[in-house]
Amino acid sequence: MNEKIKLVVKQNEGKMIAFRRGLHRNPELSWQEVETTNRVIEELERMGIPYRRMEPTGVVADLIGELNGKVVALRADMDALPVAELNSDLPYKSKSEGKMHACGHDAHTAMLLSAAEALVAVKDELAGTVRFIFQPAEEITEGAEVMIQQGAMQGVDNVFGIHIWSQMSTHTISCNTGPVFASADVVVVKFTGRGGHGAMPDACIDAALVASAFVMGVQAIVSRETDPLEPAVFTIGRMEAGTRYNVIAENAILEGTVRSFHPRVREKMERAIRRYAEQVAATYGATVKVDYRYGTHAVINEEASAALARNVITNSFGDGILYSDRPTMAGEDFSYYLQEAPGCFALVGAGNSEKDTEWAHHHGRFNVDEEALAYGAELYAQYAYTYLTEGPE
């Protein structure tokens, strides 16, 4: 633990909270984070950290230490969601109709800037380079790939990220070895039957019936075809069929998502979904087209990096703060960075019933216990400092 880092984070806590609130008032959706990018650049210029503006939004900045060494990357996402804020009593409530920071990315950006300021204070002790990645478009799982294509991970030896987590109590941090977030794939299934008059079903092939049979039966893939020790989820979130109450549907479109932690489960789910769709369609005399699109990979924390993070957590905050949270089936495009370099991803608890910050992510009432921000900022900085000083065990 570096005491100077702890002191600088504490001294700047109020400024960090104010910055987060400013972003919360002015949320910007994926690929629209122009003013957020500008605000980040203003802070980096004030600190004297060289940066590169990415296209169309986002920032990469390098703090080069006085001593030669490796490169460690710290990532924060910046985009908001198309969600209407329901926190009407907040003094920093979103000013943009139908948009809000409902996932904590405003906190992530503020924490990483605070970490940057703390690391500037110990620049003469840094044995290497700290790269700060301020990433757009995480909510649509596109930003990480674009940042990587533009060189964000070039030369990086290790990468670390944080997510504020309302499902964990404030004053807890989790960074387990192995799976943290699931892969997230998108499935679109289109059944085509034969439409006609609702009074003459014998002359038709009802696509709504076909789709309903598929929805009811396809969950057997999870319950009977996948190893119960290797979890998978298949959710149909949208179903559209028919045009009018007395017209038998000719088309039915289903949209859903598959979540898993293991590539072999992912591949098996795709094969099984295609098989179920084709056989259900054949049973009713319909046809089907399945579009299975692979999304983010699973976030799998590398063992040595996670061990380093846990040591940093206990050394900086004490043994009582370390928490072992279960993996979640949610997705995170931080996984793309882990395809480029070893690293890990930590969850910083921000749930507090007294402050009404235990709402689920992406809910209109979501908010963050701002006491968590200092933990996240210090963890970012202490991880980078320790990695460059000691490296993973």
| Residue 108 is assigned to a ligand binding site | no
Residue 310 to residue 160: CA distance in whole angstroms: 12
Nearest to 347 by CA among 78, 81, 183, 166: 166
Amino acid, res. 83: V
Q: Are 46 and 117 in contact (CB under 8 A)?
A: no
- Element counts in the chain: helices (H) and strands (E): 11, 15
| Residue 79: active-site member | yes
Catalytic residue among 138, 302, 358, 370: 138
Active-site choice (79, 206, 302, 378): 79
Rounded to whole angstroms, the Cα distance separating 135 from 232 reads 28
138 is catalytic: yes
Joined together, the tokens standing for residue 264 give: 């072999």
Are 108 and 25 contacting, i.e. CB atoms less than 8 angstroms apart? Answer: no
Residue 297 labelled as part of a binding site: no
Q: What is the DSSP string of 11-65?
A: HTHHHHHHHHHHHHHS---TT--HHHHHHHHHHHHHHT--EEE-SSS-EEEEEE-
Residue 303 among known ligand-binding residues: no
Catalogue the active-site residues. 79, 138
Sequence ranges of the binding site for Mn(2+): 103, 105, 139, 163, 362
Sequence ranges of the binding site: 103, 105, 139, 163, 362
